[in-house]
Structures are given as C-alpha cells and as structure tokens.
Amino acid sequence: MQQFYLSYLTKDDTEIHFDKTESKHLSRVLRKKVGDTIAITNGLGCRFTATLTSVDHKICKAAIVRCEEIKADSYHLHIFIAPTKSNDRMDWFVEKATEIGIHAITPIICQRSDRKVVKQERLQKIAIAAMKQSLGTYLPIIHPACDFSTSLTEVKGKAFIAHCQNTKKVAIEDFGFMEKHISIFIGPEGDFTLEEIQAASDANVSAVTLGEKRFRTETAGIIACHKISLLFP
C-alpha cells in the first residue's frame, strides 16, 4: 500500500485535501480512482486509512475511515554524525537509519570534517521519503548542523563516542541501558582528534567500539543504529 505524509493531520480529522503536487502524483502517476484506499501518516505515530472521494490533478480529497495510533519506541536514539565527503553517502545513512528506526540526527562539524555545509531541508525530505516507503509512522528530526563542541552541550541521557584510537572501550551492546535517551557520536573519515576525544570524555561521553573492523562514517552510523534497536525489543 502506498503511504502518504501529511504533518498537519490529527486523530480528530475526518477529511483530507491534498495539495496540487500530491494530487498530481495520485491522479497521474499512481492513477488512483475514487473509492481507492490509501494510507497516510502524520509522522507523529498516527496511521490513517482513507478512501478517495474526489480525484483530480489539481486537488484530491479523501475521507478518513480509521486512525490507528502506533506505539512509540521505548527508547530515543539521537545520532550526532560528521557529514560525509560524498552527499550520496550521507543521504544513504539518513535513508537507512530512518528505515531501521532513529529519532533524531544532528550533523556535526569536526576538526577533520571534509564537508562543513549540510542542507538540512534535503536530509529531512530524504527522511520523509524513507518513512513513507517503509510504512513508518514516526518521522525523525533532522537538526541543523553544529560544531562538535556545541553538540556536546545538546546531549540528553547516556552518550557514547565511537572513535578509532587505541583506548579502553566497551562494546555498546554490553551496556545495561537503564537510560532510555541515548546519544551516539560518529566522527569523520579521518576520525575525531585527540582533543575532541578528550572533550567528549570531560563531558561524560563514554568510548565504545562497534566491532573489530574500521568502518566508514555512514556504515558506523547504521551499525550503531541497528545495535541500539536490538537492545530494545
């Protein structure tokens, strides 16, 4: 079933009016007809089932027949990640992390970052598309990019940093997560600097390992996202 996203919908709404872009997509691309059933989410946990009552390339209308409230995850995962040199790889991370289940992403500009400009709106659109495609109902928040030192002040709950330096680390799956709000820092391709690692330690951010291999930035982000999701069934 095709799922659409309308952020303004509430569980009390009974009718939907699609804008011109979505109406054109419904009528001319998907070739939907009056009486067809579609699914819509507001990105806040609600999945609506609706029946199309009017189909036109300028405006489509639908009547909501059911609203299902999907239970939220028992944890909140926020990944702070250095933007990759290639836009495509950062896009891939946002897409796959959304499919797996992530709640917030903040691009961080580190001392060794190859790219220092991040288009927040572009990444949010990718997250929306991934949520729709995977039939998710919770849209992750893509925060504006910030520098590494600022990001350390934004941490809530338990925080971890994955770096490549030869220091004492604990496997992330070995932590007993009593804290349900988790932040993970993933560095650039050149890794965090020793100064940044020390700053994280001073901010009570624990060093962790994601495995024996050395991963690319976007791969490390996906592995961290998946490992955390497995800890909260």
Q: What is the pLDDT of residue 185?
A: 97
The alpha carbon of residue 169 and the mean position of all alpha carbons in its chain are separated, in whole angstroms, by 26
Distance, in Å, from the CA atom of 35 to the CA atom of 184, rounded to the nearest integer, reads 46
Q: What is the pLDDT of residue 213?
A: 85
Query: Can you list the domains of the chain with their CATH numbers?
Result: 3-69 (2.40.240.20), 76-231 (3.40.1280.10)
Q: What are phi and psi of 93, to 5 degrees?
A: -60, -50
**Over the chain (233 residues), what is each successive 10-residue block's mean pLDDT?**
89 92 90 94 96 93 96 94 94 97 96 91 96 95 96 91 88 75 94 95 92 90 93 79
Asked if 66 and 93 count as a contact pair (C-beta separation under 8 A), the reply is: no
Q: Across-strand partners of 54?
A: 61
Cα angle 229, 98, 213 (rounded to 5 degrees) comes to 60
Q: Locate 11 and state its tokens.
A: 């569980």
pLDDT for res 68: 96
Q: Please give the angle made by the CA atoms of 229, 141 and 100, to the nearest 5 degrees.
A: 25
* pLDDT at residue 176, as a whole number: 66
Residue 87, pLDDT score: 92
| Amino acid at residue number 198 | Q
